[in-house]
Structure 1
Amino acid sequence: MKILLIGEYNALHYTLKEGLEALGHTALVVGNGDGFKKIKVDVKFNMRYNSGLLFYIKRIIYKLTKTDITSRDIERQFNTFKKEFTDYDVVQLINESPIKAHPKTETKLLQFIFDHNKNVFLLSCGTDYVSVKYADEKKFRYSILTPYFEKKGTKKAFWHALMYITPPYYALHRFIYGNIKGVIASDLDYDIPLNNHDKYLGLIPNPINTDRLKFIPLDVSGKIVIFHGINDNNYYKKGNDIFEDALKIIQEKYGNTVKIVTVRSLPYHEYINTFNDAHILLDQVYAYDQGFNALEAMAKGKVVFTGAEKEWLELYDLEEDTVAINALPDAQNIASKLEWLILNPEKIVEISKNARAFVEKEHHYVSVAEQYVNQWVSHSES
């Protein structure tokens, strides 16, 4: 099959491409590289006018004319390559704003995709209308909007999520759902809001290239290294403030036993290697399941504090704290779990091995690609 993957979130689509190619298919990944992460893509749309003096000029132009010059520039770039975006067996959008343009421009460009490709699918991965609305209605026990409800940060700080429930993005959502063959969720945080939706095709786990990510056996004879990677744009959304409070407790109590490493907003190719020497990695708090970064760290054999809720344990028939550590929005609880691992280093070694085995079994990029192909074929028109 010939497959077009539009948009990128972490390295999900590019890893899926690798799995598809291993199965004998061809795939093209188009996108902006997920911003500062600079993820590899085949056709890149550069996001201009989003920093420095040009950003302020852009804002003035928008206020005066309602024209978003970044979106105009993306449209120009799209048109340069548009002949390459036609006649695919399958097209998949990474989420409801895969091109990262203003909703009106996004609609215009996606209309071209729908007009020139019969079988377009949507991936619920990252924020979108359905998942944000579910969180906004407080149907989760906790969610990425919990810190917003607790007044940690301004509405502007959470706009990257809240924008999806505004009228322009709701209109974009309706347009996309009116044209796709179906929607697939990448993990439980998107599966749960989509349950019983007539377009929902089910959950397919994130694809992880365990051939490229080598398992690193852990030596716990020295200091325990705890790694905390912060994305400044998502500081409260990921619960980084809670992790930092937990680390203060650990530093005070076990400062001679542990080494704490913190990095901020690194490009992907740097980030993926910065935690090689770590035993424990702090990923995110407000999640029920693991996202891409957590799974890649688990593939390397790290003990990851992330989403590992009871729904996830039931789905994969696992025992608590055997594969990943569920990071609750409670600094004292996280500190207690860290203390348990520090005092029982043999558990670190055990969980490390279990984490790698779990990712190989449930997230191997080739077997995951096969699941995508099966769903696409089942719901495509010839």
Structure 2
Amino acid sequence: MKILLIGEYSRLHNSLKEGLIKNGHNTLLIGSGDGFKNYPIDIDISAKSKEIPFLFFFIKVFYRIFKIDLSKIEVAYKFYRILPKLKDFDVVQLINEDCIKTFYKIEKWFLKKLKKQNKKLFLLSCGTDYVSVKYANDKKPRYSILTPLHENNKLKKKYNHILRYLSKPNYELHKFLYQNINGVLASDMDYHLPLKNHPKYLGLIPNPINIENLDFIPLQITDRINIFHGINTENAYKKGSSHFESALKIIQNKYPEKVNIVTTKDIPYKEYITLYNESHILLDQVYGYDQGYNALEAMAKGKVVFTGAEQEWLEYYNLQEDTVAINALPDEKKIAEKLEWLILNPEKIIEISKNARIFIEKEHNYITVAENYIEKWKN
């Protein structure tokens, strides 16, 4: 098959592409590299003007005055230039409802063209979109990425990049997409639950992880237990980073001789990976029912990850609590209690580490996951 993947988050489409190629499929990836993370892509449509200081300054000033983002014009121009070549694909998959990242009306025009000149069009729900944000905003889950906002309305500005999915233009784009796609897939439980029973929903396919690129590192605990917390400031509130920071203060004060804590902010993917390689425990996210990509890659390496591992996830994969990952609740005291349990029982760290790798090999193997995508796309 000839497959076009548009957009990239957290290396998901890269791993899927690698799995598809292993299965003998011709695959092209277009996107922006996901900002500072700078993931590999075949055709780059990112706004390079943002990387030039005086142009970036002009773009910001222009936006403040006219409310028009000039960088989106650059993205639109780049995509327009390559659009004639993006034809005769068996499958086109969009990583998000806003995958091209230009103006809504232009995006709809591009999507119409993609639909017309290719065979099938699919949408992936693996990040914030209209369905998941509305589900969270309606307070249907016990907690969600919007919980901090629901508890403190002063955070509204911090959530503008998420709440925009509920805006009228985005809702119109959402409706247009669902009228034109062949189906929508979810990458984990946080997007599966909002989509259940939707007529266009084709089911959950776990995130693909290229285990060949992620060596399992058997943990050794000879002195201190290393705890790593990598913060992405743009997503800090929806990840619940403040709960982790408060929990780490409790642990640092209580066990200063037993732990070594490393915290980073907004560093590139390669540097991020290098820094957490020495850790035993990784703090990922609080407001999730399932694991995101960073958590899964860390689990593949044998890290004990504090992340989403809720009851719904346990039941879906037929797992017991605290055997593969640690469910991080939005409560710093409970997070600290779990950390303390591991610090005082280091043999559990070794046990969970091994289980985590086995789980990734079984449920998230990129080759098997790619086969699942092919099956869904064909049928």
Q: Per the shorter chain, which TM-score range?
A: over 0.9
- RMSD over aligned CA atoms reads 1.4
Aligned to 1:371: 372
Compute the displacement of 1:54 (Å). 3.6
Does the 8 A contact of 1:135 with 1:145 survive in 2?
A: yes
Specify whether residues 136 and 355 from structure 1 end up closer, same or farther in structure 2 by C-alpha distance, changes over 3 A only. Answer: same
2:122 corresponds to: 121
Please name the residue that 1:183 is paired with. 184
Counterpart amino acid of 1:342?
A: I
Residue ranges of structure 1 left out of the alignment (5+ in a row): none
Alignment of 1:43-122 (within 5 A): 43-50=43-50, 53-62=54-63, 67-122=68-123
105 and 60 in structure 1: CA distance in 2 versus 1, 3 angstrom threshold? farther
Instruction: Show CA shifts across 1:291-350 (max 9, x none).
Output: 111000000000000000000000011000000000000000000000000000000000
Q: Deviations over 1:325-378 (max 9, x none)?
A: 000000000000000000000000000000000000000000000000000000
Instruction: Supply the distance in 1 between the matched residues of 2:378 and 2:333 (Cα, whole angstroms).
Output: 48
2:15 matches 1:7:
no
> Which position in structure 1 is the counterpart of 2:267?
266
1:25 partner letter = H
1:326 corresponding residue in structure 2: 327
Please report the TM-score for the alignment, with normalisation by the length of structure 2. 0.97
The amino acid across from 1:70 in the alignment is S
Percent identity of paired positions between Structure 1 and Structure 2: 59
Question: Which residue in 2 is equivalent to 1:26?
Answer: 26
TM-score, with normalisation over the residues of structure 1?
0.96
Deviation at 1:60, TM superposition (A): 4.7
The 3-state SS of whatever aligns with 2:285 is coil
Q: CA deviation at 1:67?
A: 4.0
The residue number in structure 2 matching 1:216 is: 217
Is 1:283–1:304's contact at 8 Å kept on the other side of the alignment? yes
Q: How does 1:347-358 map to 2 (within 5 A)?
A: 347-358=348-359
Corresponding pairs, count:
378
Distance apart, 1:50 and its partner CA = 4.5
2:138 corresponding residue in structure 1? 137
- 1:130 deviates by 0.1
Structure 1 counterpart of 2:37: 37
Q: Which amino acid aligns with 1:137?
A: D
Q: What are the superposed Cα offsets for residues 147-171 of structure 1, whole Å, 9 maximum, x if unpaired?
A: 1112276322111211000001001
User: Which range moves more in the overlay, 333-342 or 150-159?
Assistant: 150-159
- Following the alignment from structure 2 to structure 1, what is the Cα–Cα distance between the partners of residues 154 and 322? 31
Equivalent-residue separation in structure 2 for 1:202 and 1:50 (angstroms): 37
Runs of 4+ in 1 over 6 A off after TM superposition: none
Q: In structure 1, how many angstroms separate the alpha carbons of the residues matched to 2:363 and 2:84? A: 37
- Residue pairs, 1:153-172, within 5 angstroms: 154-172=155-173
Q: What do the CA deviations read for 1:169-223 (whole angstroms, capped 9, x no partner)?
A: 0011011111100000000000000000000000000000001100000001210
Match of 2:305 in 1: 304
| CA 338–307 in structure 1, closer or farther in 2 if over 3 Å, else same | same
Give the secondary-structure state (helix, strand or coil) at the position aligned to 2:262: strand
One-letter amino acid of the structure 1 residue matched with residue 110 of structure 2: L
